[in-house]
Amino acid sequence: MTNQPILQNIRILDFSWVLAGPYATRILADFGAEVIKVQPLLPEEAEDAFSRGYYSTWNRNKLGITLNLNKGEGVAIAKKLVAISDAVVENFTPRVMANWGLDYESLKRIKPDLIMLSMSTMGSTGPQRDYVGFGPTVHAFSGMTYLTSLPGKPPMGPGYAHADHVAGLVAALAMLGALEYRRRTGEGQYIDVSQVEAMASLLGDAVLEYTADGRSPEPMGNRSAEAAPHGIYRCRGDDRWCAIAVFNDEEWCRFCRVLGDPSWSEDSRFATSARRLENADELDGWVERWTIQHTAEEVMNRLQAAGIAAGVVQDARDLVNDPQLRSRGFFVELGHPELGKTVSDAVPIRLSRTQARYRRAAPTAGQDNDYVFRDLLGMSAGDITALRKQGVI
């Protein structure tokens, strides 16, 4: 591992909030970018313990400043920071940054080689550009909520903001591409990420199937059109489950051997992959009669030993104690001045020579005001004091 982080000397001004934008900039910060997190001035009572913990999860390794962008002085300071930054990241609806005079056309006049990344629900163009949304909204627009349902049941969706994570990864990838392009050409550019498009691009062949024959794929729950058994099966214990997938006749034979070649496995209804798919309900019943006798871990380990795809349906407690994740250093512990020890997930990317580094927990509100305003912008102590009194910082 080299001594220099891969994104050292890259400075990013981060106006983003909630999850998608902060996740993108957290990845960049983990690999050495100096990310300056811009926070609004909020009274302490505006945040509860959950909000502080949520913010802490997605903003480690960043510097934190407070800035009131509803005041002209605050916008002027933001523009000074743009002038010394490599990139700007925001995930508001398109009209917000323009209302502050901080849209790309305005900012590139300040710094022509600036990279600006915008992450909005629908993208910066089109008739629905100003629609607002969070993860569940994006899931619904993208088609994911419909397809992640049980057959014949109302749409459910994944139950958490999966779209925010996807959009954050897409945004980080786009930023790296733009930084490389600027390194080669000296030119900045505007990056427009639609979170709905990012999510819709992961729907597999659903769109292709409809455009090819006019048939819209139906929700399948935990079933598969190619494998049986394929699902989540109850195991011994309270609310314990294991996911199992058997894709071909060879795997089926190995699966049956693990189960002790029970007599029902020789039923003609289960003789081929096609027959097993036709009789999936009956097959699932037999499989679960076996899994219910064993713990989820026993089911997983026995099937994995035979080369069958199987995995415990893990909850948060399982994840925190997972020996595989712990062996790879997946959990990051950092000390926070208000929250104490915090635990978050490591970046899921391992580079052999320039690994991610976890230097500091998320900043408290305005924690780095003095460094940013005094050391980077050259403000005097008197200037900073006056701006605080005016409610600008």
Neighbours of 262 (CB within 10 A): 12
Contact between residue 244 and residue 287 where contact means Cβ atoms under 8 Å apart: yes
Q: Would you state the structure tokens that stand for residue 207, as one six-digit string?
A: 């769109």
Q: Which of these is catalytic: 14, 86, 103, 164?
A: 164
> Residue 234 carries which side chain, given as an amino acid letter?
R
What DSSP designation does 153 have?
S
164 is catalytic: yes
Question: Cα(38)–Cα(14) distance, rounded to whole angstroms?
Answer: 6
Angle at 57 between CA 40 and CA 339, to 5 degrees: 85
Q: Give the H or E element holding residue 286.
A: helix 280-291
Among 18, 41, 45, which residue's Cα sits nearest to residue 119? 18
Which secondary-structure segment (H or E) carries 30?
A: helix 20-30
**Whole-angstrom distance, CA of residue 16 vs CA of residue 143:** 25
Q: Please say whether the beta carbons of 203 and 127 come within 8 A.
A: no
Helical pair 162-185 and 135-142, crossing angle rounded to 10 deg: 90
Gap between the Cα atoms of 284 and 185, Å rounded: 58
CA atoms of 391 and 393, how far apart (whole Å): 6
Query: Which residues are tagged catalytic?
Result: 164
